[in-house]
């Protein structure tokens, strides 16, 4: 029986709507032509992963090596994400930014060859400012500027997983210097022989070379560096030059057998102070490893001047227009010198300029002269008479020199000072001493002849 629509307006059957004849019976058969053919979707093929190109990249960038295959690089500090990334060996000195990440700087100062290191790596290996970090780095990506460090291998030439056991520099116990840095090498130069007698330097000394212009302080610095390199080859020698002339930087770089960290006088004050801070951080990290470090700073005066231009004004001004807030960063540099009871030492010998005609320079010297425990004074009067080294013996000296010199040597030096004092004031003392030293081949021979009369 045909189905009827429930609509009250018209009684139209379903067969009339779809155009089929009315079929009576219990089972209604729908003709095949009336139903559209439904086709099934074609059977999809299983996904096959394409092979990854694992051929070595030999011409990626000069100096880049192909990434090792297999498990050789499967443990990049706990991840194998970069197992197929070309890498290269890198090394640099860590400079940590305020945001937490850092850069490895091969030349201590910022350059295009710096390597980025993430904050997570710095925390994992407890890295500190000035650490020498070596490892594997990848090339920068499209929008990156620096290489990215993938794996930290060594810290200060020690395996990275063992570097966290070192002590903190501020926790080391400072003591008086008790081991002399012997500078005398041969008959000449006389400057190092005079220093050994009248202003002996010990490991951990905090000393100043006070000099007027053109009195030969740069020459004495180079001669001290040469004496250290010859007599103490295991000492880590650093020359820190602040606001120096470019030709002087070249000269000292070729003369000193050690690290030379320099800034020119035409650089911004912030760049000059940054050089000093990087050098000091580097020295502290070495002392934590038990190494003897010797820093020659030229000069304290220019470093304090640079801080005077870069620090936030305190609202107070001292004589010569010097801000007292600029004294503390410079004093922090010089105050880091110490001999450590646990091992290692940091010796800092800095130069201070006087008689320059600047009240600021005189103020800086007056503020710093009480902080050191060794002073070597140069005088313009000797320089004008062409007497070199132009060392003022009467003003030069070392505190607690009895800890550095053997008792017999100390007794002879005291006698020598008394004999020279009989010559009165002026330049005759140094001139006479230089004449007598030239007649002996060593300080030992000189003191023996002195005792004989």
Q: Are 67 and 73 in contact (CB under 8 A)?
A: yes
Tokens standing for 297?
């700073």
Per-residue model confidence as pLDDT tens digits over 113-155: 899 999 999 999 999 999 999 999 998 888 888 889 999 999 9
pLDDT at 263 over 70: yes
Which of 121, 148, 165 is at the close of a domain? 165
- Asked whether residue 215 falls in the same domain as residue 111, the answer is no
| Residue 92, domain CATH | 2.40.50.140
Ligand-binding annotation for 305, yes or no, is no
Tokens standing for 181?
């840095």
Q: Residue 61 has what pLDDT?
A: 38
Q: Residue 3 has what pLDDT?
A: 44
Residue 100 placed within a domain = yes
- Asked whether residue 136 falls in the same domain as residue 179, the answer is no
Q: Which residue has the higher pLDDT, 374 or 69?
A: 374
Ligand-binding annotation for 352, yes or no, is no
Quote the CA–CA distance of 280 and 331 in Å, as a whole number.
Answer: 12
pLDDT at 66 over 80: no
Q: Residue 39 has what pLDDT?
A: 54
- Asked whether residue 91 falls in the same domain as residue 218, the answer is no
Considering the entire predicted model, what is its pTM?
Answer: 0.78
| Residue 218, domain CATH | 3.40.50.300
- Asked whether residue 210 falls in the same domain as residue 93, the answer is no
Ligand-binding annotation for 219, yes or no, is yes
CA neighbours closer than 13 Å in the CB half-sphere of residue 343: 8
Residue 67 placed within a domain = no
- Provide the residue range defining the domain that includes 284: 174-450
Tokens standing for 121?
């790596």
Q: Residue 18 has what pLDDT?
A: 47
Ligand-binding annotation for 218, yes or no, is yes
Q: What is the DSSP string of 294-355?
A: EEEEE-HHHHHHHHHHHSPP-S---TTS--GGGHHHHHHHHHT-EEETTS-EEEEEEEEE-S
- Asked whether residue 432 falls in the same domain as residue 377, the answer is yes
Per-residue model confidence as pLDDT tens digits over 14-58: 445 445 455 444 444 545 544 555 555 555 455 444 454 444 444
Quote the CA–CA distance of 295 and 272 in Å, as a whole number.
Answer: 16
- Asked whether residue 136 falls in the same domain as residue 184, the answer is no
Quote the CA–CA distance of 206 and 300 in Å, as a whole number.
Answer: 12
Ligand-binding annotation for 102, yes or no, is no
Residue 210 placed within a domain = yes
Quote the CA–CA distance of 80 and 98 in Å, as a whole number.
Answer: 29
Residue 9 placed within a domain = no
Q: Residue 108 has what pLDDT?
A: 86
Ligand-binding annotation for 71, yes or no, is no
Quote the CA–CA distance of 337 and 277 in Å, as a whole number.
Answer: 14
Quote the CA–CA distance of 89 and 106 in Å, as a whole number.
Answer: 12
Ligand-binding annotation for 217, yes or no, is yes
Quote the CA–CA distance of 349 and 239 in Å, as a whole number.
Answer: 10
Are β-strands 236-244 and 292-298 bridged in parallel, bridged antiparallel, or unpaired? Answer: parallel
Ligand-binding annotation for 206, yes or no, is yes
Ligand-binding annotation for 417, yes or no, is no
Ligand-binding annotation for 214, yes or no, is yes
Ligand-binding annotation for 274, yes or no, is no
């Amino acid at each position: 029986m045909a189905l009827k629509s429930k609509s009250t307006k018209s009684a139209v059957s379903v067969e009339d709507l779809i155009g089929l004849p009315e079929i009576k019976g219990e089972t209604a058969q729908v003709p095949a032509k009336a139903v559209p053919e439904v086709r099934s979707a074609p059977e999809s093929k299983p996904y096959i992963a394409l092979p990854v190109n694992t051929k070595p990249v030999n011409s990626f960038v000069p100096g880049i090596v192909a990434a090792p295959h297999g498990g050789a690089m499967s443990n990049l500090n706990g991840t194998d994400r970069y197992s197929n990334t070309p890498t290269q060996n890198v090394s640099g000195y860590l400079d940590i930014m305020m945001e937490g990440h850092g850069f490895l700087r091969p030349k201590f100062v910022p350059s295009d060859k710096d390597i980025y290191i993430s904050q997570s790596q710095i925390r994992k290996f407890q890295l500190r400012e000035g650490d020498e970090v070596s490892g594997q780095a990848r090339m920068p990506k499209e929008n990156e500027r620096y290489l990215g460090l993938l794996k930290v291998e060594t810290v200060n030439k020690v395996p990275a997983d063992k570097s966290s056991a070192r002590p903190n520099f501020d926790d080391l116990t400072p003591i008086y210097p008790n081991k002399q840095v012997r500078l005398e090498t041969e008959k000449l130069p006389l400057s190092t022989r005079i220093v050994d007698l009248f202003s002996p330097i010990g490991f951990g000394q905090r000393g100043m070379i006070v000099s007027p212009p053109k009195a030969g302080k740069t020459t004495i610095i180079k001669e001290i560096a040469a004496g250290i390199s010859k007599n103490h080859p295991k000492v880590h020698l650093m020359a820190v030059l602040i606001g120096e002339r470019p030709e002087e930087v070249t000269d000292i770089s070729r003369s000193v057998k050690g690290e030379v960290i320099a800034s020119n006088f035409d650089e911004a004050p912030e760049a000059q102070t940054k050089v000093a801070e990087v050098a000091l951080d580097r020295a502290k990290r070495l002392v934590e490893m038990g190494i003897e470090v010797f820093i020659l700073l030229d000069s304290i005066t220019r470093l304090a001047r640079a801080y005077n231009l870069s620090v936030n004004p305190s609202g107070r001004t001292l004589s010569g227009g010097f801000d007292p807030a600029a004294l503390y960063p410079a004093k922090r540099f010089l105050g880091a010198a110490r001999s450590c009871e646990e091992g290692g030492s940091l010796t800092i010998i800095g130069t201070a300029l006087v008689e320059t005609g600047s009240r600021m320079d005189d103020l800086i010297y007056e503020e710093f002269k009480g902080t050191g425990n060794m002073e070597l004074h140069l005088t313009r009067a000797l320089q004008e008479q062409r007497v070199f080294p132009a060392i003022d013996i009467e003003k030069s000296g070392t505190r607690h020199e009895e800890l550095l010199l053997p008792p017999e040597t100390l007794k002879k030096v005291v006698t020598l000072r008394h004999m020279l004092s009989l010559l009165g004031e002026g330049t005759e003392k140094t001139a006479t001493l230089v004449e007598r030293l030239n007649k002996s081949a060593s300080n030992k021979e000189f003191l023996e002849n002195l005792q004989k009369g």
